[in-house]
Structure formats: structure tokens, C-alpha cells
Amino acid sequence: MTPLQVGAQTFQWGSRTYLMGILNVTPDSFSGDGLLSRAGGVNAALEQARRFLAAGADILDVGGESTRPGAQTVTPEQELERVIPVIDALAREFPQAVISIDTYKALVAEEAIRAGAHFINDVWGFRADPGMALAAARHGAPAILMHNRSKPANAQVLEHLGGRYVGMEYDNLLEDVKRELLNSVAIARAAGLPDEKIILDPGIGFGKTVEQNLELLNRLDEIRALGFPVLLGPSRKSFIGYTLNLPPDQRLEGTAAAVAVGIVRGADILRVHDVEFMARVAKMTDAIVRRAKI
């Protein structure tokens, strides 16, 4: 698989697991880590980024809209007000850092890239905004294309455990997910984005039941076999909470188990909240399955 050069960072797929640290510039993150719920949002983001980078994060993922089941959508203008000051500050404070913008809106993606972002992380895989693929191709930005069948009607929210999806029907879970991911790849290709700048995300937690998420995680190698690097985002997700009957702030061990299995099944990038802990899990798992240097 062709290595990806992004700024000063070279991603050698298969050599080790890369870590993406989550910077939620929102007031309503499902995991309780929304930086806008704290005083001094930009300074809080810089401090969290500093911790993440020191712990080994390879990418900082900045998002301005919560995607939890039942969350309220925000306008592009609201999203820009949240993310651009943070991305601008990150780019100035950490010039060597690789920054990702977590958005499905082309306007937000373009402004974020101008402010210093390198990656586009689209939870709708270029299917929500027709301009997204063109924006990525125009700027030569690597794109993470996620599978997503989220439907508000299928969202169920319990006070203790948060939101999950129920009654999600697939003809064949893995085949449906693969086909729809390849549809996103086709959109990217048609816009002129080369394959070496495409990363796939199976969309753990997005329009899948607890059981479907567990199956998808355990069969991640089938997504990897499509021939693209794979990002996995299991961190603190509801499938862990409903399996262990634990709220988001008590899902560290469940996330660690999902991370380890994900690496064994071929994940290239892990999107996580608890970078310090998951960096150790990834390093140990890499030492076992990839024989990475420790």
C-alpha cells in the first residue's frame, strides 16, 4: 500500500498503528469531553492537544458538531465559529502537527484547510454534501470516508448509557458496508482524488446496532481487504456501554479491548479520546502482531 506523506509525517501503512486524538469543540459531546463546555475553549483545546502530542498522537481531529444519536445539527456558520479559531491556534502552536477536520460540509472543510488542517474526516463519506469530494481533490487533502446509515428514527437514548441505534436492517452487514464504502470511493475518484489519499472507516456506532458493531469490529479485516488504509473509531462508543452496562466515563477498558482487536484485524489509524492509555495499548499490540520496535 502506497505510503502517505502529509506535511512532515509519513504514514507507512502496516508498519505500526497511528493514533488520532479527538478534540471535540462542542458543548454536547456524548463522551462528556466537549471543549466548549469548559472556560477558554481555544486554550483548553491547545492544552489537550499538547497532552495528546506528548503521548504519541499522530493526528489531531477537530470537530465542531456532535454526531451522537439524537444530537442537534449546527449550521456551517456555527461550525466555522467553533473550529476555525482552534485549527488556526493549533497550526501556529504546533506547526509539525497533522490536523484533521471532522466535518461533512464542504464550506467548513475548505475553510479548515485554509486555516491549517491537512485531512478531511467525513462521517458521511462524501454523500451528504456534493461539494466535499471536489473540495478534497482541489486541495489535495487526504480524506477519511466513513460508512453511515444513521437515522434519527432508529436512535434510542437511555439516561445512563446514552444513545444507540436499534432496528437497523442490513441484507448482509459486511457486504452492504463494503459496497457503500466503495460507492464513496467512486465519488472520490470521480472528483479526482487519488486512491493513495483515501482512507476508509467502517463507521462503528453510526447506524448499527450493538450486535452489528461487535460483528463489524471482529471482521474488520474484510474492510482492510478492500485495499485502502482503515481508520477505526470505537472510543467510548455506546456498543461498549451497552455491552458492559457502563456510562461513557467508565469505558476505558472496553475501548482498550476494542482497540486491541481492531489492530489485530488490520486497523491502521485509531480515533480515540484517551490517547495516553490507548497509545500504550497500541504499542503493546503492535509489538505482538506487527513486531514493531518497542
Check if the beta carbon of residue 90 is closer than 8 Å to that of residue 52: no
Which of 121, 37, 111 has the alpha carbon at shortest distance from 80?
111
Q: Is the pLDDT of residue 294 over 60?
A: no
CATH entry, 4-289, from 3.10.580.10, 3.10.310.30, 3.20.20.20, 3.100.10.20? 3.20.20.20
* Distance, CA of 123 to CA of 9 (rounded, Å): 23
Least confident span in 31-40, 144-153, 176-185: 31-40
Helix (H) or strand (E) holding 200, with range, is: strand 198-201
The pLDDT of 111-130, averaged and rounded, is 97
| pLDDT band, very low/low/confident/very high, at 151 (cuts 50, 70, 90) | confident
**Quick one: pLDDT at residue 167?**
81
| pLDDT band, very low/low/confident/very high, at 94 (cuts 50, 70, 90) | very high
**What is the pLDDT of the chain when averaged over all its residues?**
92
The pLDDT of 256-274, averaged and rounded, is 98
The pLDDT of 168-194, averaged and rounded, is 97
Which of 83, 140, 73 has the alpha carbon at shortest distance from 111?
83
The pLDDT of 226-251, averaged and rounded, is 96
Cell numbers describing residue 248: 461513557
Catalytic residues: 237, 271
Q: Is the pLDDT of residue 30 over 50?
A: no
Q: Is the pLDDT of residue 69 over 80?
A: no
Sequential DSSP letters for 147-183: -----GGGEEEETTTEEEE-S---SSHHHHHHHHHHH
| pLDDT band, very low/low/confident/very high, at 40 (cuts 50, 70, 90) | low
Q: Is the pLDDT of residue 264 over 90?
A: yes
Least confident span in 9-13, 151-155, 261-265: 151-155
**Quick one: pLDDT at residue 155?**
73
Check if the beta carbon of residue 153 is closer than 8 Å to that of residue 175: no
| pLDDT band, very low/low/confident/very high, at 81 (cuts 50, 70, 90) | very high
